Each structure stands twice: as C-alpha cells, then as structure tokens.
C-alpha cells in the first residue's frame, strides 16, 4: 500500500532535491574531526557506498570551516555544514561552497549578522536548515509553556526562526524538531506539518546505542513517514554513522518508500522448524548485505508453511527433513543438502 506523502516546497541541496514528489533522502553526519580532511573524505566515501545521499559535518571553528571547500571537491554527495551560532563560520562555510547550512537564525545575534548570512545563502542559492532540539528551546518560549518542553514549544521555537528568514524573503528552508522522546518528536513534527509547507528533516535525537536507537528511530521516524511526513531522515546512533545509514535504508524500504538492495524475510522459528535456522538466517543476512538489486529473499524453517508464507519473495530457502530446499515465488525449485543451502542460495541469487 502506497503512502500518501505530504506535499511540500521543493528545496535543492546541491544536485539533490527534496520536497514535492522527490524521494525521501538518507542523511548522516560524520564523526571525524572536520579539520582532518583525509579522514572526513574517507568516511564520506564509505557512507556514500552504503547509501548516504547527503552528509553533514560539524564546523566548530575557523580552521574546520576553511577545510570545507577541499572536502566538497573530493566528494560526490551534497555537503552540509553544521553551525551552532557563529555567523562568521556560516559565512566561511557558504564561501567554501557547501550545499546547505544548519543554523538557527535566532541564535546568530544581531539583525545585521543574520542578514549577512541570509544574503550569502541567497547568493549561493543554498538552503538553511532550522534545527530545533528539545534541549535548546529559548527561555522566553519555555516560560510561555510552563517551562515544559512540549511539542507546541518546539514548534513555536522553530516558527520564530522561520519568521526571521521569511522577513528577509528567504524561503529555502528545511526544518527539524528533534527530541530524545519518541512521542514528543512525533507530535512536534505533526504540529509543524500543519503549519508550514517547508520540507522536514526527521530524526529522533540521542536515540541511543545501535540496538536501542534503531528501535527508537524506527518508531519515531517510521511513524511520521507512514503519515506522509518527512523529506529527509537521519538515524542518530551511538555507533558508526555507517550503521545509521543502514538503519535509515531499512526504514525506508520497509515502508515501501524507497528500493535499494535486498529485503530479507525470515520466519521466527517454531516447533515445526526443520533446520538450524537462526545461525543460517544471520549468515544469509551477512552474505547478501552487498546486493544492490532490489530483491526479496526468504529464509524459512519448514516446507509446510515456508514457501507459501514467503511466496512474495523472489527467492528463498527452507528446511525439509534433513535437506534444504530452494524456492522461487513460493514454488520449490530444487532440493539440496542442508549444509550447502547457503552456497546454493548465493548461486541462485547470482543467476537472478
């Protein structure tokens, strides 16, 4: 079943476009020292290999900002500069040719400084992402919300930054409203989706370690995407950013929003299981991780229900009595020795 996506303005980030009918894009953030160009470029290449479609780097100081041009020249995906409040770093990043900056205009300081950043972004035709995090709401806004970081307070904070940009006739805006709490994140984005038509960048911040953060992100980001909300996503994990990209893609694939690589179906095992399925499923997961073609592979425990339950899979394996079977679209193709199942499956996948 297709998801009806919310229609938003189209915003260009380098050669990519988000919003409108454009696909939801996968983003991640480097955890290298941005000044270390080689390490940062190496990580970006690795991220791109795994499906990262735009990448953000932290710009902590002038020496990091001055390296952005060199990084940009050596990568193929759009580069986003993450700046907290220093307008001079924003100006330098724009000068260096980044494709987008993340900065909250309300944090920049004087109107003059904001205008300089906005003028530079206009000249270079790059968007600005307003990134509100639950921990950084302005005191004056919190006071209006009984000092509680409510979804309404988060949305109000984002809208106050939006207004600053709109007053300067700047509309290449992307918005994010991240909280570590899943329900609050979802509610904040739902609220914002009703108020503006700017593209939304989704994420649950500080989601946690790989296992816990994957669950949190899948619920938070997945719920919003299922409601048609969201134009780019970033899964935040206390782990390698490569893992973030892998999780992001699985979320998009499971929702039917994007296709990339294999989808893996495997049964939960039960008393009918006829082979040692759990280690086999893990081996299949690893052995097929590199596949870029969008195919569905099933790993099932018994011949009684396996092929039938996985009949939508392009190819699958199932256990029989002391043997294994290869099936395609629910029909058993051939019987093989159980200890050769994985090898035989990989041969069949190669043929596909």
Q: Residues 300, 315, 341, 349: which binds ligand SF4 (CB under 6 A)?
A: 300
Which C-beta is closer to ligand SF4: that of 48 or that of 305? 305
Q: Residues 195, 272, 293, 337: which binds ligand SF4 (CB under 6 A)?
A: 272
Going by their DSSP bridges, the two strands 25-29 and 232-233 should be labelled as: parallel
Please count the other Cβ atoms lying within 10 Å of the Cβ belonging to residue 39: 14
Q: Does 250 bind ligand SF4 (CB under 6 A)?
A: no
Which C-beta is closer to ligand SF4: that of 252 or that of 300? 300
Going by their DSSP bridges, the two strands 128-133 and 296-300 should be labelled as: unpaired
Q: Residues 75, 287, 305, 320: which binds ligand SF4 (CB under 6 A)?
A: 305
Between CA 348 and CA 42 the distance in angstroms is: 34
Q: Residues 270, 335, 346, 352: which binds ligand SF4 (CB under 6 A)?
A: 270
Q: What residues contact residue 38 under an 8 Å CB cut-off, 6+ apart?
A: none
Closest by Cα among 128, 127, 150 to 137: 150
Q: Does 137 bind ligand SF4 (CB under 6 A)?
A: no
Q: Does 298 bind ligand SF4 (CB under 6 A)?
A: no
Q: What residues contact residue 26 under an 8 Å CB cut-off, 6+ apart?
A: 51, 52, 53, 54, 232, 233, 234, 245, 248, 249, 252
Closest by Cα among 298, 352, 304, 350 to 327: 298
Of how many residues is the chain composed?
352
Q: Report how many residues bind ligand SF4 under the rule CB under 6 A.
A: 12
Q: What residues contact residue 35 under an 8 Å CB cut-off, 6+ apart?
A: 63, 64, 67
Q: Do the Cβ atoms of 234 and 27 come closer than 8 Å?
A: yes
CB of 42 to ligand SF4, least distance (A): 42
Q: Does 51 bind ligand SF4 (CB under 6 A)?
A: no
Q: Does 346 bind ligand SF4 (CB under 6 A)?
A: no
Which C-beta is closer to ligand SF4: that of 252 or that of 281? 281
Q: Residues 268, 321, 322, 331: which binds ligand SF4 (CB under 6 A)?
A: 268
Q: Residues 19, 78, 241, 301: which binds ligand SF4 (CB under 6 A)?
A: 301
In the block, tokens 């679209």 appear at 329
Between CA 50 and CA 38 the distance in angstroms is: 19
Choices 66-74, 129-137, 242-250, 269-277 (CB under 6 A): range interacting with ligand SF4: 269-277
Task: Reduce the DSSP state of residue 281 to 3 states and report it.
Answer: helix
Q: Does 332 bind ligand SF4 (CB under 6 A)?
A: no
Q: Does 269 bind ligand SF4 (CB under 6 A)?
A: yes
Q: Which residues bind ligand SF4 (CB under 6 A)?
A: 267-270, 272-273, 300-302, 305-306, 309
């Amino acid at each position: 079943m297709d998801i009806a996506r919310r229609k938003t303005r189209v915003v260009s980030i380098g050669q990519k476009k988000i919003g409108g009918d454009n696909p939801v894009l996968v983003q991640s953030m480097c955890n290298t020292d941005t000044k270390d160009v080689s390490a940062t470029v190496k990580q970006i290449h690795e991220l791109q290999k795994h499906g990262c479609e735009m990448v953000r780097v932290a710009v902590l100081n002038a020496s990091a900002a001055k390296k952005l041009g060199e990084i940009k020249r050596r990568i193929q995906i759009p580069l986003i500069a993450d700046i907290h409040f220093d307008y001079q770093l924003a100006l330098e990043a724009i000068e260096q040719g980044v494709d987008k900056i993340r900065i909250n205009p309300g944090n920049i300081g004087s109107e003059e400084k904001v205008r300089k950043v906005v003028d530079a972004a206009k000249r270079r035709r790059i968007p600005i992402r307003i990134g509100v995090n639950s921990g950084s709401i302005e005191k004056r806004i919190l006071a209006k919300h009984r000092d509680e970081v409510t979804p309404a307070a988060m949305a109000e904070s984002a809208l106050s930054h939006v207004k600053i940009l709109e007053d300067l006739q700047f509309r290449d805006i992307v918005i994010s409203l991240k909280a570590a709490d899943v329900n609050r994140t979802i509610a904040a984005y739902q609220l914002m989706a009703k108020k503006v038509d700017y593209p939304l960048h989704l994420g649950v911040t500080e989601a946690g370690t790989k296992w816990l953060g994957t669950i949190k992100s899948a619920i938070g980001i997945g719920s919003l995407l299922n409601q048609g909300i969201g134009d780019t996503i970033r899964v935040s994990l206390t782990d390698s950013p490569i893992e973030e990209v892998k999780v992001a893609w699985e979320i998009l694939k499971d929702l039917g929003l994007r296709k990339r690589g294999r989808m893996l179906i495997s049964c939960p095992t039960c008393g009918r299981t006829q082979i040692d399925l759990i280690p086999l499923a893990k081996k299949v997961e690893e052995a097929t991780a590199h596949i870029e073609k969008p195919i569905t592979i099933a790993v099932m425990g018994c011949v009684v229900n396996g092929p039938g339950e996985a009949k939508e899979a392009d190819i699958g394996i199932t256990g029989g009595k002391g043997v294994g079977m290869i099936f395609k679209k629910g029909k058993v193709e051939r019987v093989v020795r159980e200890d050769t199942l994985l090898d035989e499956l990989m041969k069949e996948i190669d043929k596909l």
